Structure 1
Amino acid sequence: MSTVGDTARFLIIDDHPLFREALHSAVQAAYPDGDMVEARSIGEALELLSASSAFDLALLDLTMPDVQGFDGLLQFRTRYPWLPVVIISGHEDPKIIGEALSYGAAGFIPKSVRKDELAEAIRTVMEGAISVPKYYQAAAPDAGSADRAELVRRLAMLTPQQLRVLNMLRQGMLNKQIAYELQVGETTVKAHVSEILRKLNVYSRTQAVIEVSKLDNAELFREHGGF
């Protein structure tokens, strides 16, 4: 939480200048004395958090250029689990909202809402509640809910570096390619892969990718053209 007096601090993460401005305006309407910091990518946001973790709320656009799907949200939940993250998205499908909430989002705000509704949603989350669109109704649990919840729990056990390695595995990269990208030795990559398999309780990198892809809901991503 914020350590600068009683001033609430907000981290706005969006790659579109106009919407960063819209979020800035909504936050200011809800908290006139709030301190706002902006980031144009997940990487930039993580650097800001590394330098100063004194933020009360992060407003995250689901469609960011340097991540796929919910990877950005998972990175924040893993590295900064105490930081409430509200997803801001142009997509309004209830399935996407449910996915975001299952990964630990503190709320989901469609980009189509009015400024006053956006401000009210921000206040709701800051007061400790979860904010979702009025039309949203959580889907009834299905037979796979327990398995999904367990996999999400296991993903939360991965370190930030292991999450990066897992994301590269999903892209089909070989160990030597991952080592080059991360500037580490192949032995280190192999160790990360072994830990990923152990924590996810799977026996091969292919199985790890298949299991995680179930959480991504690939068909839904294709239907909406990706995030």
Structure 2
Amino acid sequence: MTIVLFNSIETWMAKYAEASSGVLINVGSHDVTEPRIEEEIRTLLTRFPDLPVIILSDSHDLRQVLTALELGVRGFIPSAVGIAVCVKAISLALSGGIFISTESLPELRRLMSVADQQERKRAEIFTYREEDVIAMLKLGKANKIIAYELDLQESTVKVHIRNIMKKLKVRNRTEVIFKLNELFD
């Protein structure tokens, strides 16, 4: 692996972009979610969509990892990992894979557990069909559209909405969404 260092993405783009097989961006102690860094990564990925981009960071914060992956990076490497792991992570990204460090997994497990608990709590409150209606309400759909998309009668949709409102102790559709967000998001 040949490695060439640049002090900025702009310098790299001007001198070496076409000859690169991947880009490793060292953000150091900066946060990937900082607007300037996030915009630079977004610009880079937009301009070179097939080029694997990997982030090297002093952090392994899951929020940063997920933001980077949502932007389209192929790896998020905490600087605390050894050089051998770093090289393998870069190689994985260059060959089409995606790398996240095991340091991020405990937080990911915790978030999944919270989401699972919320899902079980909702399942205890609402029926399967009520959940379908709730999903449509969140999209702001009218009763007629909900009925059509769920293959129900409009009167059945109204009954489901009335039951949902009773269970949440609210008076209208807007309050349903507000209460659901308050309880489950």
TM-score normalised per structure 2 = 0.51
1:35 aligned partner: 2
Counterparts of 2:9 and 2:77 in 1: how far apart (Å)? 18
Q: How does 1:29-178 map to 2 (within 5 A)?
A: 34-49=1-16, 52-62=17-27, 68-137=36-105
Gaps of 5+ in 1: 1-33, 144-227
Q: Which amino acid aligns with 1:48?
A: K
Counterparts of 1:43 and 1:124 in 2: how far apart (Å)? 25
Offset at 1:127? 2.3
Computed over aligned residues only, the root mean square deviation of the Cα atoms, in angstroms, reads: 2.5
Counterparts of 2:37 and 2:61 in 1: how far apart (Å)? 14
Q: Please list the CA deviations of residues 36-67 of structure 1 after superposition, one character each: whole Å capped at 9, or x if unmatched.
A: 22111122122124xx5121111012358xx8
Offset at 1:95? 0.5
Q: Which amino acid aligns with 1:106?
A: R
Counterparts of 1:127 and 1:75 in 2: how far apart (Å)? 22
Query: What is the SS of the residue equivalent to 2:3?
Result: strand
Offset at 1:69? 3.0
Offset at 1:134? 1.2
Counterparts of 1:68 and 1:126 in 2: how far apart (Å)? 25
Gaps of 5+ in 2: 116-134, 136-185
- 1 or 2 for the larger relative contact order (CA 8 Å, sep ≥6)? 1
Paired residues, what number? Answer: 106
Counterparts of 2:73 and 2:22 in 1: how far apart (Å)? 11
Counterparts of 2:91 and 2:9 in 1: how far apart (Å)? 24
Greater Rg over alpha carbons, structure = 2
| Identity in percent | 26
Kindly report structure 1 stretches of 4+ aligned residues shifted beyond 2 Å: 135-141
Query: What is the SS of the residue equivalent to 2:37?
Result: coil
Q: Please list the CA deviations of residues 188-208 of structure 1 after superposition, one character each: whole Å capped at 9, or x if unmatched.
A: xxxxxxxxxxxxxxxxxxxxx
Counterparts of 1:122 and 1:92 in 2: how far apart (Å)? 16
Higher helix proportion, which one? 2
Counterparts of 2:22 and 2:80 in 1: how far apart (Å)? 20
Query: What is the SS of the residue equivalent to 2:19?
Result: coil
TM-score normalised per structure 1 = 0.42
